[in-house]
Chain A
């Protein structure tokens, strides 16, 4: 372990960014974690002050700072609302990388990130095996939500209600694809993402159905790896570089106009974090830039490029929409998914606080389940209060969290990706 003086030097590199925080405290108004705890260490201003304290060697407890730093969903709401325009996400990701460099990665994370994610074939094989045997360990809770819970006392699962691994992952249903442009004259690359592949393959199928309907050619190379957001938020920049490299090498040779995904987190990672955080082989830099520029959320592609419009007569099922942080805060995409729901002929019902985080936050949900659950529970209350029969969103991670929360409340409704609703209407 490096000494604390060296750690301070590393944090000094963030000084130019940290100094931008004028400590106005306006982040307190929007932070989901601060809303629960009321603690200054849980809000961005406090975290930035702690990092600043480490950099100036006023603090002697990097472990304590690291613990506070990790109590964050990385939802980006503070950054989107910061009067001084502080690049909070950038600072936090870099700080986590510095901390991981200092403390090292936990053995469990090391095994998952470096053993599994870096090795998509092994990852696929293991999850497929898991899908076969999961019935032994889990039992069904709610058929409408498709949720299950642990059959035995299992600390990792706790009292979660979750969607189990798909019996047939998306990459088994559609291993690869390369179809010519149809009526639209356009071709897109489809980046699937882990959660759609392994838990919600029906979302992937819906995307292909919609693209086919609109005459869009699809380039879907086999062997796609994780987009890298889980490892980056744990500060594992080496694995991040490897994963980005693997994906770029798969995607760069295809000819396509746009790269679409059905996952808000993958979209914002490819679009913003690949070009910004990749420090690997520089021969890939150009391709990363091109891919980032071409990347779009599926609803954004359908509405902005293909000009899909709302149906005038909405007589369908009532649907509410939760804004994933990675679409709303990072990319400012809020209108297009709603348009798509209306284009599916659904009766749209806006919920209260649609734009507040669902509390998932990726691995935050694993490390801080109780906090995650409390935030998610409020989201579920707002969803139920909307009186819609379907809770739609644009991020499969949010779908997992919302399913858990609604299932635990015994809500009589289903959770869908907006693209599923639109595909069903075709």
Chain B
């Protein structure tokens, strides 16, 4: 088919208003939140019905057109950067919450539903959807599932994959594939829904997602503990878990981040502190009181110099505001901000922090570190200016070193941001050559023409 004929076909499926071919429109979908070069797609299409989504997928396959699905485009690993000359399929026209079932505690959603809006709808019905990625105000549930997004509550409540009960998705032939169920237990067939989680749009196009909901905790208590060294803070983290307490949230900030946040907000953070832990325990009121007391004791035993327990909602908000400010405050310092998510086993946090400091010193880079200490998911944030060629080369080297270090400690390339384009080159290093070959074989069977988000995760052959 000629280009014009294909465009006509897309228009017939999705409506002329939902097919964008102009230069400016295409340019606006050439990037995501990753610090990578942008790539212009040939076409952007925005299906608004399930059938149209399936038909668009089939049309792309029939014509061998690379297809990249995009929700809000907040991806930090380049998973939503299109293939040159490919098609971007927007899901924000598929944004209906189809069902919230209070009796059976699940919900059925279309992929374009915004995470925070969904969580709010669920909360209105007295239920709880825990995954809370930092971008939840705009990120979509389809994107969360495709990336297996995490968040601040990962330690106790798990991440997106722990809430996916089932899924319907389109294969490249335009067949609707169903997996999982509205029931808690379901072992019908392969766990294809599980396979779709973190597949980053390389194996199918999500149509509907069934998500597990849980009852919210009845009470919560937040506190901020100040430490004279990162070592003391990370030992505290290990000790809290060793005492069989799993806080809902357990976050850490290094001195550089503390000072930056304080400059940004002026909320009275201790700028001399080497490290801060922000801790929240939740559950039944009695349990919360008990656990908070134990956490307080452990913090003091590990040398916390100060401990603030939030007395009310306003103080609790202030604790979490400090954490929410970490990224914006760092981002304000320099034009380019490379936010990594190298993750190590909890016990290795002190060693990882030390390694990050060494890398920063060795390469003369500015790295602020904060993150989800409770689950070992750190966010070393490299501050730079991409236009400074010499420094950028050192940044790239630094990133390599960070992943080398994390992997050597038994860690992983990505706690929650995904592999995408940015980290596909390290994949075999964490897994094995055989694993990569297995994954590529699987993809080649499910997607023989290689149209589904090419180059992501398993890289270019």
Report B-chain residues with C-beta under 8 Å of the C-beta of A84: 328, 331-332, 337
A63 CB, nearest partner CB in chain B, Å:
9
Quick check: is A308 within 8 A (CB to CB) of the other chain?
Answer: no
User: Do A22 and B331 touch (CB < 8 A)?
Assistant: yes
Q: B13-38 toward A: CB 8 Å interface, digit per residue (1/0)?
A: 00000001011110111111101001
User: Do B72 and A49 touch (CB < 8 A)?
Assistant: no
B24, B30, B137, most chain A CB atoms within 10 A? B24
Closest to A41 in B: B28
Quick check: is A23 within 8 A (CB to CB) of the other chain?
Answer: yes
Report B-chain residues with C-beta under 8 Å of the C-beta of A59: 23-24, 27
Quick check: is A61 within 8 A (CB to CB) of the other chain?
Answer: yes
User: Do B385 and A61 touch (CB < 8 A)?
Assistant: no
Report B-chain residues with C-beta under 8 Å of the C-beta of A28: 72, 138
A280 CB, nearest partner CB in chain B, Å:
31
User: Do A23 and B33 touch (CB < 8 A)?
Assistant: yes
Query: In the bound complex, what is the Cα–Cα distance between A29 and B304 (angstroms)?
Result: 38
Residues B158-183 near A (CB distance < 8 A):
none
Quick check: is A65 within 8 A (CB to CB) of the other chain?
Answer: yes
A interface, how many residues as a size bin? 20 to 34
Quick check: is B50 within 8 A (CB to CB) of the other chain?
Answer: no
A8 CB, nearest partner CB in chain B, Å:
14
Q: A46-64 toward B: CB 8 Å interface, digit per residue (1/0)?
A: 1001100100001111001
Report B-chain residues with C-beta under 8 Å of the C-beta of A16: 335
User: Do A60 and B31 touch (CB < 8 A)?
Assistant: no
B interface, how many residues as a size bin? 35 or more
Closest to B328 in A: A83
User: Do A26 and B137 touch (CB < 8 A)?
Assistant: yes
User: Do B28 and A83 touch (CB < 8 A)?
Assistant: no
Report A-chain residues with C-beta under 8 Å of the C-beta of B387: 19
Quick check: is A238 within 8 A (CB to CB) of the other chain?
Answer: no
Query: In the bound complex, what is the Cα–Cα distance between A58 and B28 (angstroms)?
Result: 12
Per DSSP, are chain B's interface residues mostly helix, strand or loop, or mixed? loop
Q: A313-339 toward B: CB 8 Å interface, digit per residue (1/0)?
A: 000000000000000000000000000
Contact partner of A50 among B27, B32, B332, CB < 8 A? B27
Contact partner of A61 among B23, B116, B337, CB < 8 A? B23
Report B-chain residues with C-beta under 8 Å of the C-beta of A25: 32-33, 72-74, 135, 138
Quick check: is B327 within 8 A (CB to CB) of the other chain?
Answer: yes
User: Do A23 and B92 touch (CB < 8 A)?
Assistant: no
Quick check: is A156 within 8 A (CB to CB) of the other chain?
Answer: no
User: Do A41 and B92 touch (CB < 8 A)?
Assistant: no
Query: In the bound complex, what is the Cα–Cα distance between A197 and B24 (angstroms)?
Result: 41
Q: A5-33 toward B: CB 8 Å interface, digit per residue (1/0)?
A: 00000000000100110111110110000
Residues A63-101 near B (CB distance < 8 A):
64-65, 67-68, 83-85
Quick check: is B221 within 8 A (CB to CB) of the other chain?
Answer: no
A60 CB, nearest partner CB in chain B, Å:
7
Quick check: is B421 within 8 A (CB to CB) of the other chain?
Answer: no
User: Do A39 and B336 touch (CB < 8 A)?
Assistant: no
Contact partner of B335 among A19, A38, A46, A49, CB < 8 A? A19
Quick check: is B155 within 8 A (CB to CB) of the other chain?
Answer: no
Contact partner of A68 among B24, B35, B74, B337, CB < 8 A? B24
User: Do A39 and B25 touch (CB < 8 A)?
Assistant: yes
A23, A40, A46, A60, most chain B CB atoms within 10 A? A40
Quick check: is B270 within 8 A (CB to CB) of the other chain?
Answer: no
Query: In the bound complex, what is the Cα–Cα distance between A67 and B116 (angstroms)?
Result: 31
Contact partner of A83 among B27, B31, B331, CB < 8 A? B331
Quick check: is B93 within 8 A (CB to CB) of the other chain?
Answer: yes
Contact partner of A38 among B32, B33, B92, CB < 8 A? B92
A68 CB, nearest partner CB in chain B, Å:
6
Quick check: is B46 within 8 A (CB to CB) of the other chain?
Answer: yes
Query: In the bound complex, what is the Cα–Cα distance between A16 and B336 (angstroms)?
Result: 11
B20, B35, B335, most chain A CB atoms within 10 A? B335
Closest to B338 in A: A22
A420 CB, nearest partner CB in chain B, Å:
35
A4 CB, nearest partner CB in chain B, Å:
12
A to B CB contacts below 8 Å, 14 in the list: A19-B385, A19-B387, A23-B32, A24-B135, A28-B72, A29-B116, A29-B137, A38-B93, A39-B20, A40-B29, A41-B24, A49-B30, A61-B24, A84-B328
Q: When A and B form their complex, which 6 residue pairs have the shortest distance between CB atoms, in order from nearest?
A: A83-B328, A40-B28, A46-B28, A29-B137, A64-B24, A19-B335
A residues contacting B by CB (< 8 A) are 16, 19-20, 22-26, 28-29, 38-41, 46, 49-50, 53, 58-61, 64-65, 67-68, 83-85
A26-B137, A83-B328 given; name 5 further pairs at CB < 8 Å.
A28-B138, A29-B137, A40-B29, A50-B28, A84-B331
